[in-house]
Chain A
Amino acid sequence: MFDSLKLTKIPEADESLRPAVKAFLAEQLAGLSAERRARSWMGHDPEFSRALAQKGWVGVTLPRDYGGAALGYFARFVIVEELLISGAPVAAHWISERQSGPLILHYGTEVQRQYYLPRICRGEAFFCIGMSEPDSGSDLASVKTRATRTDKGWTLNGAKLWSSYSTKATHMIALVRTSGAAGDRHEGLSQVIIDLKLPGVTTRPISDLSGDPHFSEVHFANVELGEDALVGKEGDGWNQVRAELAFERSGPERLYSSVVLFDLWLRYLRGAGINDDATAALVGSMTSRLAALRSLSISITGQLVRGERPETLAALLKDIGTEFEQAVPALVADHLASRPDEVADPDLLAALAYVAAMNPAFSLRGGTREILRGMIARGLGLR
């Protein structure tokens, strides 16, 4: 496991994208409040996503023939890092860019690629993920939503739950059963693309604890899907989902969900001249943790670039990364309240309120802590 973990540099060519991205974001986000920025990749703004797409920074890893920028994972790392530091509202295109686009490129037919990928890159097609269901969370292989063969394609019945921003998305890629029964586990699962405007699809928003209606419940009642709704091979859905999750787990977003809060806190400490020993030690230990995690993330990005599938390391990084993300609001809250006679800056307090409330989600979404630790244990040879 450690042999593959090599210190890796972001190549100069990719690093050189950074100033332009920084400048663009500074201009685009000038009026965005701290509280909105604190939402990190849960902030939703289709206008912003389209502006980013116009710069060519949506679908950066996709080939030019499909409207992409044909850049590598390191370039994507640089762009995503800047988006996250600045608290850009990326949720509208986030899933398409990170998961759905690469998935369609890899497993889709030529027709599917030609149709979906340019729309993703232009910020017109926004995808959401349909994995979880009312009775299937961590035990994803138990999904019951079913696509049944017809002469013209498939009929879909069932329900998906917790799909982020599906009320505002145009499409969903869902993991569904195409053969066998729930007891068959990993066999008989497939991934299908669903146009969310089709008859029989109903989407109900669900507010999260911060009040954002970001979650939703999606019901499918005899939804007629065409033959070309299937992505990849019928029955191969489980393998495809695993590969998809390896991408999802290794990016900087698994370290940076609280970075806007961290930076607002730093700005406050610097401005107020708070630099006693205890504060310095706290700032230093948090910086040190984050520095090591960033090196890990870049190292894993290097493995993706080399075409490896670092599943165990991606799970490892996500688990330790989310632990850090979750520690930030707790440490910042404690630090601020250790000085009960000082009132911190309102922007900082607003960001803290959001992240402190939302942070339990960081180790749930994309696979819970317990599931990830099981995967790491498997990688260590214990199961």
Chain B
Amino acid sequence: MDDMLENMAARLFADRSTPALIRAVEAGTGRDQFTGLWQEIVATGLCDSLVDEGKGGSGLGFAEILPVILLSGRFILPLALAETMVARALLADAGVSVPDGPIVLATAVSAGAADRIETGVIPLAATAGFALIDDGAGCDLFALNPADLIRAPGRGSLSAQVSVARSTSLARLPTPLVSLRVVAALLHAAKLSGAMKRLLAMTVDYGNTRVQFGRPIGKFQAIQHQLAVMAEQVSAAAIAVEAASPETGYLPDPLRVAVAKERTSSAAAIVGAIAHAVHGAMGISEEYDLQLFTRRLQDWRVADGSESYWSGLLGRAVLAEKSGSVIDFIRTRLAT
């Protein structure tokens, strides 16, 4: 992707995905504002980045739009742009016309009545217009109405479970080569990476400005060492996300995604804790922006499987090999 697209997205998100907007959306009073923002996003053409050129899109590979997804995490965009990019590419490939509105990606859970489809908790379902749901045999597109959502607990959460009647499916797509859980896990890993870089910068800034005992708290070795650990976690998570991003197409390799989601989810717990420790009581206040980020970190950490889920999947693949060093496995199966 050229830097122009990235710069354009950075400007748009910085201007419009502001803490004030996010607070309004979380309070349920910002519907007009976020519909406006969505229209601006649609106007940029970003939503069709992954759609083939022949089908009216930009035909970019996932790695090329990764910077935009990282930015959507950096600015905790309250709309499912990344998910919509993938959904539109899948729909276009299946020859299904694209609906107007954010689309979340979800996986059906096995429980429930035969005539209904239910999902686990999906971030940003509350501001989405549609859901693409993978039931293992295929994917269905559903329009989302407030009645279809079981909103997740917690103040300001934009996550929800979806429960819809199968008969309301707008279109059925064949099973993608890679399950939607894998794809969505990579998107959340990327958003985590973007948000964690921002949290590191915010926390270093705070360390340099908050004064106690006559000097900036960042001069205290105990604070410096915590920030060093934060930088380590953020770095390892960031490179794992890059390594999982397919250069062409948009369907990632499940084992590389396992590393990306394991690393980012594990890091999220550490990074969130250190960010709060350094910010003191200020970080606990509603008025201060830190909480907007650390609450989202919690959502994304558990979305589409936590670190333990992905570790199990990866570990089973390692154990299934008959022999060979773990480095041979990493080199041949997990590295670019």
Contact = CB atoms under 8 A, between A and B. Distances in A.
Given A7-B242, A263-B325, A295-B243, A316 B228 contact: yes
Given A270-B321, A270-B323, A280 B315 contact: yes
B258 A270 contact: no
B263 interface: yes
B232 interface: yes
A174 B237 CA distance: 38
Interface stretch (A122-130, A236-244, A375-383): A375-383
B219 A383 contact: yes
B231 A287 contact: no
Interface in A275-293: 275, 277, 279-293
A270 B335 contact: no
Interface residues of A, number: 53
A58 interface: no
Given A285-B266, A377-B227, A9 B336 contact: yes
B243 A7 contact: yes
Contact of B221 (A266, A287, A374): A374
Contact of B232 (A81, A263, A319): A319
Nearest to A382: B218
Given A293-B236, A374-B221, A281 B308 contact: yes
Contact of A316 (B208, B219, B221, B231): B231
B310 interface: yes
A283 B323 contact: no
A319 B233 CA distance: 11
Contacts of B325: 85, 259, 263
A380 B228 contact: yes
A280 B223 CA distance: 35
Given A5-B239, A382-B224, A294 B330 contact: yes
Nearest to A370: B225
Contacts of B319: 266, 269-270, 275, 279-280, 283
A32 to B, nearest CB: 15
B contact patch SS: helix
- Best-buried of A277, A283, A285 by chain B (most CB within 10 Å): A285
A262 interface: yes
Interface residues of B, number: 55
A281 B197 CA distance: 27
B188 to A, nearest CB: 16
Contacts of A320: 232-233, 235-236
A2 B243 contact: no
Contact of B312 (A2, A280, A373): A280
Interface string B289-332: 00000000000000000011011111111110111011111110
Contact of B330 (A280, A291, A382): A291
Contact of A288 (B224, B311, B335): B311
B259 interface: yes
A299 B323 CA distance: 28
B197 A285 contact: no
Contacts of A319: 228, 232
B321 A284 contact: no
B64 interface: no
B229 interface: yes
B314 A287 contact: yes
Given A280-B312, A296-B239, A382 B318 contact: no
B225 A377 contact: yes
B238 interface: yes
A289 B258 CA distance: 11
B140 interface: no
B48 interface: no
Given A290-B330, A292-B240, A2 B235 contact: yes
Nearest to A1: B231
Interface string B18-38: 000000000000000000000
A178 B239 CA distance: 44
Contact of B228 (A85, A263, A277, A377): A377
B239 A7 contact: yes
Nearest to A262: B326
A204 interface: no
Contacts of B326: 259, 262-263, 266, 286-287, 290
Contacts of B228: 316, 319, 372-374, 376-377, 380
B47 interface: no
Interface in B50-83: none
Contacts of A263: 325-326
A285 B243 contact: no
Contacts of A299: 239
B204 interface: yes
Nearest to A378: B224
A-B pairs, 5 with minimum CB distance: A284-B315, A284-B311, A377-B224, A280-B315, A284-B314
Interface of B: 197, 204, 207-208, 218-219, 221, 223-225, 227-229, 231-240, 242-243, 258-259, 262-263, 266, 307-308, 310-319, 321-323, 325-331, 334-336
14 contacts: A259-B327, A279-B315, A280-B311, A280-B315, A285-B266, A292-B259, A299-B239, A320-B232, A320-B236, A374-B221, A374-B224, A374-B228, A376-B227, A377-B228
